[in-house]
């Protein structure tokens, strides 16, 4: 479903008696500023985890929304919330347009219809895209509006449609489990090959560890200097489209589970570059071992990245801190906080992001 600033058509008025009935994970309503929101589909994608919201279902969340010690919201949070608006509170004022009728007199539609967005242009470039159509071939027409567009995040109920052709659409979607399924055997193969062409098991393990350490720096460098060329790519249709496929889509749709981990084809390209880069400094046996370590580091990175976006509140405090830190990169300041699996290189290079206090669990 595309973004929706306010409920379309008729606004339905709900009584508090009705609202309080919707207080379960599969039937989750909340109230803010006199509006009623059905957040059932959003709970699992909430950046702070569903548990933060669960204790407040069927209630007015206005006070807790503004509580920075509980959970800090970004500037885009309210915009994301608006698309789940289903009506207003009976007898209360709200910031909502349209005619208000009683719930018993109106049929509430939530069929995922996608109203077309404006395609007005500015300086010859699109200001937005039409979410009713496949999106990839549209983003290149955003021109100098691309950077602003891609860092205004949306949370959709379903993965966005990339291509009109099913063949390309299939390969644009990568479930998280594809990463270990494809690449763990390759890591093992590199290690076995390194031993066959000259390394001892101890030397191969040393190369593996060295590659893991190398990956932590590669993770930072790629994220900061390649993935975040947002301003620099706005000179052509092709460069914008390529950047969107590489990383821009993840900032526009940070909770899209099918566009979070790297597709194997793209990983293969970076793997080949890594092998030849390492080969410039090491012999072939050591290159195999170090590349295995780098690839193992990548596997940990991609799985960790997926976990941070879709885990709720992780049970281990380390991952809880990482989740808060990484989501601050998405929703607060995308020009800081480039580390995913650790903050180490952000500290070294002065790009550490202040992610604020940890969220506190509150009783209902």
CB 266 within 8 A of CB 250: no
Q: Which two tokens stand for residue 125?
A: 């470039």
Q: What does the alpha-carbon distance between residue 327 and residue 228 come to, in Å, rounded to a whole number?
A: 16
Going by the annotation, the residues of the binding site for Zn(2+) are 223, 228, 247, 250-251, 305, 309, 326, 329-330
Residue-level pLDDT at 180: 98
Residue-level pLDDT at 121: 59
Distances (CA, A) of 215 to 120, 252, 284: 43, 26, 19
Distances (CA, A) of 292 to 15, 183, 212, 273: 60, 10, 8, 13
Going by the annotation, the residues of the binding site for heme are 46, 73
Residue-level pLDDT at 305: 96
Residue-level pLDDT at 10: 44
Taking only the tens place, the pLDDT of each residue in 14-43 is 888 888 888 787 788 888 888 888 887 777
Residue-level pLDDT at 313: 66
Residue-level pLDDT at 361: 44
The DSSP element (H or E) to which 137 belongs, if any, is helix 136-139
pLDDT < 70 positions in the chain: 1-11, 44-45, 47-51, 66-76, 92-123, 312-316, 356-364
Residue-level pLDDT at 94: 60
Residue-level pLDDT at 32: 84
Q: What does the alpha-carbon distance between residue 215 and residue 223 come to, in Å, rounded to a whole number?
A: 12
- Return the half-sphere exposure (C-beta side, CA atoms, 13 A cut-off) of residue 52: 26
DSSP-derived letter for residue 296 is: H
Going by the annotation, the residues of the binding site are 46, 73, 223, 228, 247, 250-251, 305, 309, 326, 329-330
Note the CATH number of domain 11-105: 3.10.120.10
Q: What does the alpha-carbon distance between residue 225 and residue 73 come to, in Å, rounded to a whole number?
A: 27
Taking only the tens place, the pLDDT of each residue in 337-353 is 999 999 999 999 999 99
Residue-level pLDDT at 283: 96
What count of other Cβ atoms lies within 10 Å of the Cβ of residue 362?
A: 13
- List the chain domain ranges: 11-105, 169-349
Polymer length in residues for the chain: 364
Angle between helices 264-279 and 178-196 (to 10 degrees): 30
Cβ neighbours for 226, distance < 8 A, ≥ 6 positions apart: 246, 247
Q: What does the alpha-carbon distance between residue 121 and residue 137 come to, in Å, rounded to a whole number?
A: 16
Q: What does the alpha-carbon distance between residue 300 and residue 295 come to, in Å, rounded to a whole number?
A: 9
Taking only the tens place, the pLDDT of each residue in 131-189 is 989 999 999 999 999 999 999 888 887 889 999 999 999 999 999 999 999 999 999 99
């Amino acid at each position: 479903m595309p973004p929706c600033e306010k409920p379309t058509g008729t606004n339905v008025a709900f009584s508090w008696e009705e609202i309080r009935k919707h207080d379960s994970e599969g039937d989750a309503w909340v109230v803010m500023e006199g509006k009623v929101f059905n957040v059932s589909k959003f709970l699992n994608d909430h950046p702070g985890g569903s548990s933060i919201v669960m204790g407040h279902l069927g209630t007015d969340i206005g006070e807790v929304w503004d509580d920075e010690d509980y959970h800090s919201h970004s500037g885009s949070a309210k915009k994301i919330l608006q698309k789940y608006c289903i009506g207003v509170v009976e007898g209360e004022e709200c910031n909502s347009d349209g005619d208000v009728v009683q719930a018993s007199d109106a049929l509430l539609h939530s069929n995922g219809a996608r109203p077309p967005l404006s395609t007005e242009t500015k300086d010859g470039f699109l200001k937005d895209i039409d979410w009713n159509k496949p999106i990839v071939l549209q983003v290149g027409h955003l021109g100098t509006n691309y950077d602003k567009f891609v860092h205004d995040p949306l949370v959709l109920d379903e993965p966005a449609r990339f291509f009109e052709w099913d063949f390309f659409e299939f390969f644009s979607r990568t479930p998280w489990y594809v990463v270990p399924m494809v690449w763990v055997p390759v890591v093992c193969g590199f290690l076995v090959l390194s031993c066959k062409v000259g390394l001892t098991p101890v030397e191969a393990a040393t190369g593996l560890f060295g590659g893991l350490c190398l990956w932590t720096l590669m993770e930072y460098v790629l994220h900061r200097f390649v993935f975040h060329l947002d301003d620099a790519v706005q000179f052509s249709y092709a460069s914008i489209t390529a950047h969107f496929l590489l990383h821009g889509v993840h900032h526009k749709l940070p909770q899209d589970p099918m566009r979070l981990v790297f597709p194997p084809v793209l990983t293969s390209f970076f793997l080949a570059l890594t092998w030849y880069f390492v080969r410039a400094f090491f012999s072939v046996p050591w290159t195999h071992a170090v590349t295995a370590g780098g690839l193992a580091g990548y596997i940990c990175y991609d799985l960790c990245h997926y976990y941070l976006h879709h885990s709720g509140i992780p049970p281990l405090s380390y991952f809880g801190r990482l989740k808060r830190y990484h989501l601050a990169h998405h929703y607060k300041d995308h020009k800081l906080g480039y580390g995913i699996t650790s903050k180490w290189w952000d500290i070294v290079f002065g790009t550490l992001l202040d992610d604020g206090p940890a969220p506190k669990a509150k009783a209902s």
